[in-house]
Amino acid sequence: MDQFAEQLIHGRTHISPKRLGDPGPSPAQKETILLAANAAPDHGRMVPWRFIEIQESSRPALGEVFHQCLLDRDQGATEIQQQEARDKASRGPLLLLAIANYRDANDDISKQEKLVSLGCAIQNILLSAYAFGFGSGLSSGRALQSDRIRTLFQLTKDEEPICFITIGTVLKNKPGRIRPSLSEYHFIF
């Protein structure tokens, strides 16, 4: 395999959003990164996903949703825990919410296929960001299942928020995980 492709695929590792700082992608880099998503396999060309960029001015509103979601599940959360929940929204210069869209259901293209398409679009975004020298991390968490998130981002009934994508400059890094061996996932029939 071409060395660049090899390095791109195997060099990317998950970086915790708290280790991603400024600078983030420039507007032109951001456009290239987002355009990588549209090269994802997409059965029926339904574009069954979208990405919402949460700009700086919207971070406090997201932080408040994280905070309220914490209180929903733990009334006794300490002040520190509450502040940590709010702070999660302010991490990383570029923050995207990846959303699956299951609209126009038909018998030929399942929800699972649409989710796979989103996964591919996400990976394209991560690899494109990595090719520019940025780190990235995915994060989910219980708040994503809450109506508070749906309300904040005005999601339609066909949409499901899947995960956040944070992109920025790697401030600090930990060694990547040991990847699974081929025998764990390759089987001959």
Beta-sheet pairing, 49-53 with 159-170:
unpaired
> Which residue lies nearer to ligand FMN by CB, 11 or 104?
11
> Which residue lies nearer to ligand FMN by CB, 42 or 130?
130
> Which residue lies nearer to ligand FMN by CB, 26 or 145?
145
Is residue 115 a contact residue for ligand FMN (CB under 6 A)? no
To ligand FMN, the closest distance from the beta carbon of 97 in angstroms equals 12
Judged by CB under 6 A, which of 45, 157, 177, 186 binds ligand FMN? 177
**8-state DSSP, 176:** P
> Which residue lies nearer to ligand FMN by CB, 178 or 188?
178
Tell me how far apart the alpha carbons of residues 35 and 132 are, in angstroms, rounded to a whole number: 14
Contacts of 177 (CB under 8 A, 6+ apart): 13, 14
**Pattern 12-51, ligand FMN, x by CB under 6 A:** -xx-------------------------------------
Q: CA torsion 12→18→19→20, rounded to 10°?
A: 70
Is residue 175 a contact residue for ligand FMN (CB under 6 A)? no
Tell me how far apart the alpha carbons of residues 20 and 114 are, in angstroms, rounded to a whole number: 29
To ligand FMN, the closest distance from the beta carbon of 41 in angstroms equals 17
Cβ-based neighbour number of residue 99 at 10 Å: 20
Number of residues that bind ligand FMN (CB under 6 A): 10
> Which residue lies nearer to ligand FMN by CB, 94 or 162?
162
Amino acid at 136: S
Contacts of 118 (CB under 8 A, 6+ apart): 40, 48, 49, 98, 100, 162
To ligand FMN, the closest distance from the beta carbon of 28 in angstroms equals 26
To ligand FMN, the closest distance from the beta carbon of 67 in angstroms equals 17
List, as one string, the DSSP characters of 137-156: EEE--GGGGSHHHHHHTT--
- Cβ atoms of 15 and 171 within 8 Å: the answer is no
Binding residues among 126-165 for ligand FMN as defined by CB under 6 A: 138-141, 162-163
Residues that bind ligand FMN (CB under 6 A): 13-14, 138-141, 162-163, 176-177
